Amino acid sequence: MGDGYYRNGMTQTPIERLSLRHRVFSNAERGRVWVIGHRGAMGHCPENTFASFDRALELGADWIELDVHLTRDGALAVIHDEKVDRTTDGRGFVRDHTLAELKQLDAGSWFGPEFAAQRIPTLDEVLLWARGRHTLVDVEIKNAPIYYTGIEEAVVESLDRTAMAEQVIVISFDHRSVQRVKMLDSRIVTGVLYAARPTDAGLGLARAAKADAVLPHWAYVTLEDVQTAHAAGLAVAPWATSDPEILHRLIGAGVDAIGTNHPDVLRQILTESPNVSHAKESDPAAEAGR
């Protein structure tokens, strides 16, 4: 890695703890593209596991994205699907298992036998892992087709317990959940996910949910819409592609961050793009002065 890269996962020195809001929304940072490891580095490792999160940082991700569901006993499990069937050796809905039951499941062998030791993490566990590495976290609340009463409160409480409220962005396709999180704690940066091209570049969706960012599917990103969002003070962070041609187009449109299953692919493109500012080349001394 280049001289600007720190193995703790961010380009700041360990003593720095700049908030996500400062890093992403500062005028000085406009033009930088942040690499978000979608479910870690799910193109290389079993998604939403510590193996995947560690690998994402090794491959150049600036921060990691994950998904949360509520267990039967009210814990926040880091898993994408409402059922455990696809990514573990278990069966059934997350909501029908206790945390202890989920911890017994193998969350890695489906991807490869070398990952057999992987287990489903909790949100607290991942946040503490990220805190120790000065890494930002993108927390997606999964709240449909199953709706979890109190999941927003549980997420905010987890952020408080781990002192990570200002080091995350909380996002969801359920924009009422996004609105609820902002009502519970205005410090938390939030974003609305969608797979469409709204007539107003997503401004209305963000405004209604009191969100700070719009996260459209990559197919609906245009230069015009990015400029409109930026003019309204919103960050734009599309998801989720590893296709070099598409990544080049998104970078050209001026987005602030990109979710990708292969952080190494996006990092390489950014490294080879001299006109694009990106996190791994930032100056820690300059960061401290901002």
* 259 vs 268: CA distance, rounded Å: 15
Q: What is the DSSP string of 184-222?
A: H-TTSEEEEEESS--TTTTHHHHHHHT-SEEEEBGGG--
Residue type, 6: Y
Is 38 labeled as catalytic in the residue annotation? yes
How far is it, in rounded angstroms, from Cα 171 to Cα 157?
Answer: 16
Tokens of 225: 């819409």
Q: Can you tell me the distance from the alpha carbon of 171 to that of 179, in angstroms, rounded to the nearest whole number?
A: 10
Helices and strands (H and E) in the chain: how many: 11, 10
Residue 208 · residue 231 · CB < 8 Å: no
CA 261/CA 184 separation, integer angstroms: 31
Question: Which string of DSSP letters, residue by residue, matches 47-65?
Answer: TTSHHHHHHHHHTT-SEEE
Which of the residues 22, 44, 69, 80 is marked catalytic?
80
Q: How far apart are CA 174 and CA 80, in angstroms?
A: 15
CA distance 39 to 87: 12
Q: Say if residue 22 is exposed, middle or buried (CB neighbours under 10 Å; 0-12, 13-18, 19+).
A: middle
User: Which residues share a beta bridge with 236?
Assistant: 214
The sign of the CA dihedral 252, 56, 80, 205 is negative
Give the active site residue among 38, 69, 97, 134: 38
Q: Is residue 217 flagged as an active site residue?
A: no
Residues serving a catalytic function are 38, 80
